[in-house]
Amino acid sequence: MSVVKIKDTVSGPGYDIVITRGLDELADNLKKPETENRRALIVTDSNVGPLYLESVKSVLITVFKDVEDFTVPAGEENKNLDRVRDILKKLVSLKFDRKDFIIALGGGVIGDMAGFVSAVYLRGIRFVQIPTTLLSQTDSSIGGKTGVDLDEYKNMVGAFHQHSFVYINTAFLRTLPKRQFASGMAEIIKHGLIRDNAYYEWLVNNFNEINDQESDVIEKMIRISCEIKARVVEEDPTEQGLRAILNFGHTIGHAIEKYSGFTLLHGECVALGMIAASYISYCRGNIDTEEFYEIRDMFLPFYLPLTLPDDYDPKEILKLSKSDKKMDGGRIRFILLKKVGKAVIDTAVTDEEILNAIDQLIIKDY
Ligand SMILES: NC(=O)c1ccc[n+]([C@@H]2O[C@H](COP(=O)([O-])OP(=O)(O)OC[C@H]3O[C@@H](n4cnc5c(N)ncnc54)[C@H](O)[C@@H]3O)[C@@H](O)[C@H]2O)c1
Ligand SMILES: [Zn+2]
């Protein structure tokens, strides 16, 4: 078992992320004065519920006075205000009070949405997350960002609301579709590239063990990724500066995601966005040819794409990248690599640089 401590950020006293294999340590970690005589509502989705709701519930019932559950249909299209309303109505009908708990059991969609409900129900109640995807175990369960989409606008409505506790059971990853696992790997590779060269090298050298989900390797990887994200977020909890480096690969990545009509997964697009951003870093002389190709090629063993189909239009992707909400006074806050393991914020990346970087992602028919 590993524990990553998240320090006080904006609003809360900080919390622990426990990383382990199995559910054995869940009850002990939750038995605190705050949970005594309290009630809990587990929010899950229609894929995760049938797999894990009963086993989690049987543990939680030993901690809380009463454990209720609510299942939302799976998928990003359900991360919206209608579903928020459904969950809120459930809480009202159950007469949950301010000291009761919401437990999110699922991926980032459930975590973001149940987190948002926890932020607004009675102006804020306690929120525990049991993340079940690689992305939610290493990315979305740290940093206190909660929210839902508003029509086609992603994460448009939200709040910062800290968790009380996060419990990561790596065994849940066994049932995760392979493509979803790969998508989560993109954010993990990002952590190495932006902050920790030694971690990046370790990932490159351990791709077999990671893909085989060897427990010790997976636990170590999740711990290091949580620590990297936690340290960045602690230094800049409300995204005034440094936290922007977590958007490495995301400006072009989000644009590709929209262009693909969301047929490509988020991590797949972030991988492509990171290749493009690394290419610009290479053109600027920050990394050399060998480093650029090593970054590009390492996505392959993790089942992430290196190229875009030739019918993708770089100019349209550039246009979409400018409508991204991560702008700074009209300029794109672009994240580049200063070197492998260190990212920098740059507001002077030109359209031409972006176009060239997208262009080199496109498969050419010579
Ligand atoms: N709050 C943040 O800081 C933050 C950061 C990154 C991403 N996000 C958000 O996270 C969301 C994406 O999260 P995600 O990738 O976890 O997607 P997701 O929650 O949609 O999960 C992906 C799919 O896997 C299924 N699933 C989940 N766990 C499973 C398991 N153990 N076994 C089998 N199937 C399982 C889900 O039902 C779903 O179909 C996006 O909405 C994104 O905006 C938030
Ligand atoms: Zn991301």
- For 14-41, b/e burial (b = at least 16 CB within 10 A) is ebebbbbbebebbeebbeeeebeebbbb
Distance CA(71)–CA(35), nearest Å, equals 22
> What is the number of helices (H) and of strands (E) in the chain?
14, 13
110 and 203, same domain (yes or no): no
Does 288 share its domain with 250? yes
**Helix 266-283 and helix 178-195, axial crossing angle in degrees, nearest 10:** 30
Domain containing residue 138: CATH number: 3.40.50.1970
For residue 104, the surrounding DSSP H or E stretch is strand 101-106
Do 89 and 76 lie in a common domain?
yes
pLDDT of 241: 83
Using 50, 70 and 90 to split pLDDT, how confident is the model at 235?
confident
Q: Please say which residue of 108, 140, 175 terminates a domain.
A: 175
Of 53-62, 207-216, 233-242, 290-299, minimum mean pLDDT range: 233-242
Q: Is residue 364 part of a domain?
A: no
Q: Are 262 and 291 members of one domain?
A: yes
Position 366 in a domain: no
- Give, in order, the Cα–Cα distances in Å from 95 to each of 65, 92, 98: 14, 5, 10
Tell me, using a 6 A CB cutoff, whether residue 45 lines ligand 1. Answer: yes
Is 247 noted as a catalytic residue in this protein? yes
At 278, which CATH number?
1.20.1090.10
Looking at the fold, whether 146 and 228 belong to one and the same domain comes out as no
Same structural domain for residues 59 and 114?
yes
Q: Is residue 287 a part of any domain in this protein?
A: yes
Rounded to an integer, the average pLDDT of 9-13 is 65
User: Is residue 365 one of the residues assigned to a domain?
Assistant: no
pLDDT at position 234 over 80? yes
Number of domains in the chain: 2
**pTM, entire model:** 0.95
Q: Are strands 2-6 and 15-20 parallel, antiparallel or unpaired?
A: antiparallel
Q: Could you tell me if the CB of 268 is within 6 A of ligand 1?
A: no
Top mutation candidate among 113, 180, 304 for ligand 1, by most atoms within 8 Å of CB: 180
The neighbour count for residue 55, using CB atoms within 10 Å, is: 13
Q: From the CB of 116, is ligand 1 less than 6 Å away?
A: no
DSSP string, 62-77: TTSSEEEEEEE-SSGG
Ligand 1 in reach of 107 Cβ (< 6 A): yes
Per annotation, catalytic residue among 39, 163, 243, 258: 243
- Distance, CA 288 to ligand 1 centroid (Å)? 35
Of 252, 256, 255, 244, give the one whose Cα is nearest residue 277: 252
User: Of the candidates 85, 73, 164, which has an alpha carbon nearest to the alpha carbon of residue 124?
Assistant: 164
**In the prediction, which pLDDT does 34 show?**
95
Q: Which ligand is nearest to the CA of 271?
A: 2
Q: Which ligand is nearest to the CA of 134?
A: 1
Measure 272 CA to ligand 2 centroid, in angstroms. 12
Q: Would 39 be classed as within a structural domain?
A: yes
150 and 191: one domain? no
User: Are 208 and 249 contained in the same domain?
Assistant: yes
The verdict on the CB of residue 147 being under 6 Å from ligand 1 is: no
In a domain, 69, yes or no: yes
Distances from the Cα of 320 to the Cαs of 3, 236, 260, in angstroms?
40, 27, 11
For residue 146, the enclosing domain spans 2-175
Q: Is the CB of 46 under 6 A from ligand 1?
A: no
Structure tokens at 335: 């994240």
Q: Same domain, yes or no, for 13 and 60? A: yes
Looking at the structure, do residues 200 and 168 belong to the same domain, yes or no?
A: no
| For residue 12, pLDDT beyond 90 | no
Q: pLDDT tens-digit profile of 25-45? A: 999 999 999 999 999 999 999
Of 14 and 20, the one with more pLDDT: 20
Contact at 8 Å (CB) between 74 and 48? yes
Supply the mean pLDDT for the chain. 94
Q: Please identify which of the residues 254, 258, 296, 333 carries the catalytic annotation.
A: 254
Same domain, 192 and 308: yes
Residues 140 and 9 in one domain: yes
pLDDT of residue 11: 62
